[in-house]
Amino acid sequence: MTSEVSRRGMLGLGVGATLAIPAMTRAQRPLPPHREQDSVGVAVVGLGKLSEGQILPALKRTKGVHLAALVSGVPEKAKKWATEFGLPDSAIYSYQNFDTIARDPKVQIVYIVLPNAMHADFTVRSFKAGKHVLCEKPMAVTLAEGERMIAAGKAAQKHLMIAYRCLFEPVNVSAMQMMRKGVVGAPRLIKTVMGKQTSLSDPSDAWRLDMAMSGGGALADMGIYGINATRYLLGEEPTEVRAWARTDRNDPRFKTVEDMVAWQMKFPSGAIGEGSSCFSQPGTMAWQAIGTERRLVADPGCFYNGNAVRIVGGKDDDQPRVAEIDHFGNEMNWFADVVRGRAPNVAPGEEGLQDMRIIHAILQSVRDGGATVKTGFGYKRAYDPATVVGIRTAI
């Protein structure tokens, strides 16, 4: 582990730290901003809502990474962004000529921001081109695709990170630290509610409502945040799940995917995770962690901004004060540090695959009318984000 990594680890709160909420604020001392001189070049693949709305704007401000290329099926859109970033036409690739990116030394990281069914192919092509890969969640549609992506990264000896932005978002990082510190007491129940309204007339929703393209509708798209949050808040893996779906098959949106799925997960500590995902409700990304002494409530807890966590109950009501930061920028900076050997990969392909296995187990339970499905897949996180990811105040 590099000195940078161990320094970060020390800024987190170690497991078993004494329970004293005010000490938490001392642990949230800001990390220094990245150094500009060794910024890493990123190619963004797919210029849809997420890229245009969040990722490209973040890349204008990040110090650790910079935009080096654009990959798009719409040349005019790519040209517009290239002009905005001062990039030459040679930095624009199509999906067809993408493989020639192998000859572009300015690109070290490929960030895949395409519909889920396209993640595996572009990940494998990126590794073949000798690049590191940051891939959006969910990592793929099938477990076989996920395994193929991990194998391709290992064969190429390049890093694969799945873009779980909440692992780099201050509210969620501080919540993980509080959970490890025992602020809620012994964890009993984690509740997560993730959903939004969808419309077939929005192309960005249309593929999400197609099982073959999304791999699981609202569950794969938004429920994954709840599954991931339950796992990172508890710091353990579920041993079994059971789930039910409520879907109106007369609604043209839900011909191939489920609408609302609700699940329960059992954890070795005795804690229970209860979650839901839904594509016919107002935008919601909320969670709460209930322990024997207090509750942590975050609503919103996983939006792009405006997240907040509150400690409810008990005598001590010293609320965490966490500054907002662009967590897409923070996540990209982190991956640049992974590539430079300065930070651990807290969301490798195996982490993405674990969520996919749980998603598939939930869907299995739905098909089996709520039957219990075992999820003891033997996965263990290599690094606990609660202890290695510090809280930054600048990107």
**Given the structure tokens 């609302």, which residue do they identify?**
260
Q: What is the smallest separation between the CB atom of 108 and ligand NAD, expressed in angstroms?
A: 21
Residue 156 sits at φ, ψ, to 5 deg, of -85, -10
Q: Which is nearer to ligand NAD, 204 or 256 (CB)?
A: 204
Active-site residue, selected from the candidate residues 111, 164, 225, 383 = 225
Q: Which of 41, 115, 329, 385 binds ligand NAD (CB under 6 A)?
A: 115
In whole angstroms, give the CA distance from residue 251 to residue 249.
5
Please classify residue 201 by burial: count the beta carbons closer than 10 Å to its beta carbon, then call 0-12 exposed, 13-18 middle and 19+ buried.
Answer: exposed
Q: What is the smallest separation between the CB atom of 207 and ligand NAD, expressed in angstroms?
A: 5
Binding of ligand NAD by 350 (CB under 6 A): no
Residue count, binding to ligand NAD (CB under 6 A): 19
Task: State yes or no: is 383 an active-site residue.
Answer: no
Amino acid at 346: V
Cα distances from 310 to residues 179, 223, 298, 307, in angstroms, run 13, 22, 6, 10
Q: Which is nearer to ligand NAD, 50 or 209 (CB)?
A: 50
Q: Which is nearer to ligand NAD, 264 or 277 (CB)?
A: 277
Q: Which is nearer to ligand NAD, 3 or 96 (CB)?
A: 96
**Given the structure tokens 């999400």, which residue do they identify?**
208
**Given the structure tokens 């249309």, which residue do they identify?**
206
Q: Which of 28, 62, 108, 116 binds ligand NAD (CB under 6 A)?
A: 116
Q: Which of 97, 204, 269, 319 binds ligand NAD (CB under 6 A)?
A: 204
Residue 151 sits at φ, ψ, to 5 deg, of -65, -40
* Candidate ranges 9-17, 114-122, 184-192, 363-371; the one touching ligand NAD (CB under 6 A): 114-122
- Return the sign of the alpha-carbon dihedral for residues 115, 116, 117, 121: positive
Q: Residue 45 forms beta bridges with which residues?
A: 71, 112
Q: Which is nearer to ligand NAD, 81 or 263 (CB)?
A: 81
**Given the structure tokens 């990304």, which residue do they identify?**
285
Binding to ligand NAD by CB under 6 A, coded x per residue (else -) over 24-53, reads: ----------------------xxxxxx--
In whole angstroms, give the CA distance from residue 9 to residue 31.
11
Q: Which of 104, 145, 169, 221 binds ligand NAD (CB under 6 A)?
A: 221
Q: Which is nearer to ligand NAD, 45 or 184 (CB)?
A: 45
- Smallest Cα–Cα separation from 325: which of 168, 109, 207, 117? 168
Q: Which is nearer to ligand NAD, 73 or 341 (CB)?
A: 73
Q: What is the smallest separation between the CB atom of 114 and ligand NAD, expressed in angstroms?
A: 5
Binding of ligand NAD by 210 (CB under 6 A): no
Active-site residue, selected from the candidate residues 93, 131, 137, 191 = 137
User: Coil, helix or strand for 372?
Assistant: coil
Check residue 341 and report its DSSP letter. Answer: T
Q: What is the smallest separation between the CB atom of 278 and ligand NAD, expressed in angstroms?
A: 16
Check residue 136 and report its DSSP letter. Answer: P
**Given the structure tokens 């873009």, which residue do they identify?**
163
Q: Which residues of 17-29 are buried (b: 16+ CB within 10 A; e: fewer)?
A: eeeebeebeebbe
Report yes or no: 358 and 277 within 8 Å, Cβ to Cβ: no
Task: State yes or no: is 304 an active-site residue.
Answer: no
Q: Which of 207, 254, 279, 335 binds ligand NAD (CB under 6 A)?
A: 207
Q: Which is nearer to ligand NAD, 174 or 214 (CB)?
A: 214
Binding of ligand NAD by 286 (CB under 6 A): no
Report yes or no: 159 and 132 within 8 Å, Cβ to Cβ: yes
Binding of ligand NAD by 149 (CB under 6 A): no
Binding to ligand NAD by CB under 6 A, coded x per residue (else -) over 56-95, reads: -----------------x----------------------
Alpha carbon 185 to its chain's center = 26
Binding of ligand NAD by 301 (CB under 6 A): no
Report yes or no: 298 and 194 within 8 Å, Cβ to Cβ: no
Q: Give residues in contact with ligand NAD (CB under 6 A).
A: 46-51, 73, 113-116, 136-137, 163, 165, 203-204, 207, 221
Catalogue the active-site residues. Answer: 137, 225
